Amino acid sequence: MFRKKQQDNHFAEIEEAQRVYREGITTLRDIIAPEAFEINFNYLRLGNYHVRSFFVLTYPRYLYTEWLSPIINFDITMDTSLFIYPIDTAMIMKTLKNKVGQIESRATMEAQKGLPRDPQLETAYQDIEALRDLLSRGESKLFHFALYFTIYAKEKEELDEATKQLESALNSQLVYVKQANLQQEQGFDSCLPLCKDKLKILHNMDTSALSTCFPFVSSELSSNTGILYGINRHNNGLVLFDRFDLENANSVVLAKAGAGKSYSVKLEILRSLMLGTEVIIIDPENEYKKLCDAVGGSYLNLSLNSPKRINPFDLPKLANKEDSRDALRSNVITLHGLMKLIFGKLDAKQDDILDKALIETYASKGITSDPSTHHLKPPTMEDLQRVLLSITGGNELALMLRKFTSGSFAGLFNEQTNINLDNPFVVFSIRDLEDELRPIAMYIVLNYIWNKVKSEMTRRILVVDEAWYLLKHEDSAQFLFSIAKRARKYYLGLTTISQDVEDFLGSPYGKAIVTNSSLSLLLKQHPAAVDMVVKTFNLTEAEKYFLLNAEVGEGLFFAGLNHVAIQMMASYLEDQIVTTNPKQVLEMEGK
């Protein structure tokens, strides 16, 4: 007996020692537990966060599919909990039978009293009978359903703002929610991944109504017309789209170098050509020559040694007489922007001299605001220089212009135009131009293309690669933005491509071009620029992470208000034509 008592004491000492030891061990509960927990009337304090829970009070008579999807995709930290309790069909059939009897009895009594019919009573009767039919045939089942939300915010004001946002979004769909006042702890527990419903605020729903509450829906972006842009990463569906069906056909492509910008745009061009769309490209790096040769396009190389020339003084040939009257004034304004690229910043006096000189230059060739004179041979930069020399105060401007008339850059912009855009696929290459001349050449080429677009309306896509070149200068950026705004009127879709995302989005004109583009393609982004992209396109943290870790040819495709994750896909022949991978190009050339 004494020995047994000793053993019991020994075991008790061991258990006490184990208990003391366990108290000093950090457990999983200690790691995940908040540092503080405060319960208030209509919110909780969870560490540094303010937390508020809600329950759905009433639903509308009809619910449509995906009604919960916008709530799930809110850009706020939120937990959503759905509880579904199956109800025994035999029991509910008996309850519904009794309910039908009660309704029929009430209707009969009201009829005997001579009361007018009650539409609500008749609707309830029809709904119950329809549900009984579905349940009896096994086409539907009945469930108890509970739906709760818990939102998180750093500050109380932020929590109140998120509350208004959630309530407004649900109330607009006739789904009314209430804050779980005096039950915030139970509401919070109900939204934790513990499968415990501590609020028990239930609603009856049949199978069809319950199916509309399924929150995980695949994003879909496809139509019956257009071209294949790629594969939808959400559901492996096809992203088929016609950019000309949107509010405007403008597109923006932003990505870091090597992410697949040119590859994606070339695929779109190749497939658009098959549908009869004309394509014009400004190519700063000779990336489109192979594609141009493959489709039989016109490749126009602009350089000091090239015979191809564009005269910036050309006037557009417009079919609309009203527009023709303003053709001279419009081109003078465009030439103002060009001269500012050449001269740099001008003061008010120099700007006035330049304006006067441009008008007199056209007048020297007999060209006035009268459209009947617009067919005359236009002047050149040499004519402008001559006029500037004849105007008081124009000597300095004439001196700065001499480089382009008789100096090292002579001939490039000082001769009559000897090219045309009759081919459905035209590429302007400016790779061999000096860096100083590139923005000037892009400006002149864009103006020439724009005049062609205005003179003949047909379905066209204009691709401006490395658009940040133009955005570096105020006047060229403004000109590109004006094209983006007016392109839709002339059945034109402007595609701007840039790998220098910071410079593009950092420019007010770059942001304006994005807002005037219904189509956007965001491929892999550099960590230094991704925050600006997230802010501009209002992306979620998950989408930001996706863009940082995307593979080549993967990204986010925006069309109007919808967007999906996309993977660019090409056939073997398309890949051989559009690839710019140096290793692959050398292998194809047998080197």
- The percent helix, strand, coil of the chain (3-state, each to 5) is 45, 15, 35
pLDDT of residue 324: 56
Q: Using pLDDT thresholds of 50, 70 and 90, give the confidence band for residue 589.
A: low
> Which residues lie closer than 8 Å to 535 by C-beta, 6 or more apart?
none
Dihedral over alpha carbons 353, 357, 358, 362 (to 10 degrees): 160
pLDDT of residue 201: 93
Q: Which two tokens stand for residue 349?
A: 């006096």
Q: Using pLDDT thresholds of 50, 70 and 90, give the confidence band for residue 444.
A: confident
Q: Which two tokens stand for residue 358?
A: 């441009």
pLDDT of residue 591: 56
Residue 152 has pLDDT above 90, yes or no: yes
Q: Using pLDDT thresholds of 50, 70 and 90, give the confidence band for residue 470.
A: confident
pLDDT of residue 149: 95
Residue labelled with tokens 């220098």: 500
The stretch 288-301 carries a mean pLDDT of 89
- Region of 47 (left: φ > 0; alpha: ψ -120 to 50; beta: rest) is left
pLDDT of residue 189: 93
Q: Which two tokens stand for residue 207?
A: 């199978």
Residue 44 has pLDDT above 90, yes or no: yes
Beta-bridge partners for 564: 557
pLDDT of residue 325: 61
Average confidence score pLDDT of the chain: 84
First to last CA, the chain: 96
pLDDT of residue 199: 93
pLDDT of residue 160: 93
pLDDT of residue 575: 87
pLDDT tens for residues 341-388?
Answer: 888 888 888 888 888 888 898 888 888 888 888 888 889 888 888 888
Residue 321 has pLDDT above 80, yes or no: no
The stretch 267-282 carries a mean pLDDT of 91
pLDDT tens for residues 214-264?
Answer: 776 556 667 778 888 888 877 677 888 888 888 889 999 998 888 888 889
- Region of 24 (left: φ > 0; alpha: ψ -120 to 50; beta: rest) is alpha
Any idea which fold 246-310+420-591 has? Rossmann fold (3.40.50)
Residue 395 has pLDDT above 70, yes or no: yes
pLDDT of residue 153: 92
Flag whether the pTM goes above 0.75.
no
Give the rounded percent of residues in the chain with a pLDDT score beyond 90.
18
The stretch 44-60 carries a mean pLDDT of 92
Assess contact for 411 and 352: CB atoms under 8 A.
Answer: no
pLDDT of residue 6: 66
Q: How far apart are CA 481 and CA 488, in angstroms?
A: 13
Residue 497 or residue 540, greater confidence: 497
Q: What is residue 365's three-state secondary structure?
A: coil
Assess contact for 169 and 74: CB atoms under 8 A.
Answer: yes
CA 344 vs CA 168, 347, 351: distances in Å: 52, 10, 11
Q: Using pLDDT thresholds of 50, 70 and 90, give the confidence band for residue 585.
A: low
pLDDT tens for residues 557-575?
Answer: 888 777 888 888 888 888 8
Q: Using pLDDT thresholds of 50, 70 and 90, give the confidence band for residue 31.
A: confident
Give the rounded percent of residues in the chain with a pLDDT score beyond 70.
93
Residue 514 has pLDDT above 80, yes or no: yes
Any idea which fold 311-416 has? Helicase, Ruva Protein; domain 3 (1.10.8)
Residue 92 has pLDDT above 90, yes or no: no
Residue 2 has pLDDT above 60, yes or no: no
pLDDT of residue 320: 57
Q: Using pLDDT thresholds of 50, 70 and 90, give the confidence band for residue 93.
A: confident
Residue 185 has pLDDT above 90, yes or no: yes
Q: Which two tokens stand for residue 377?
A: 């041979």
Residue 476 has pLDDT above 60, yes or no: yes
The stretch 78-99 carries a mean pLDDT of 87
Q: How far apart are CA 134 and CA 124, in angstroms?
A: 16
pLDDT of residue 328: 82
In CATH terms, are 246-310+420-591 and 311-416 the same topology?
Answer: no
pLDDT of residue 161: 92
What 8-state DSSP symbol labels residue 564? E
Residue labelled with tokens 């579904």: 84
Q: Using pLDDT thresholds of 50, 70 and 90, give the confidence band for residue 542.
A: confident
| Domain locations in the chain as residue ranges | 30-211, 246-310+420-591, 311-416
Low-confidence winner among 198-207, 373-382, 469-478, 546-555 (lowest mean pLDDT): 469-478
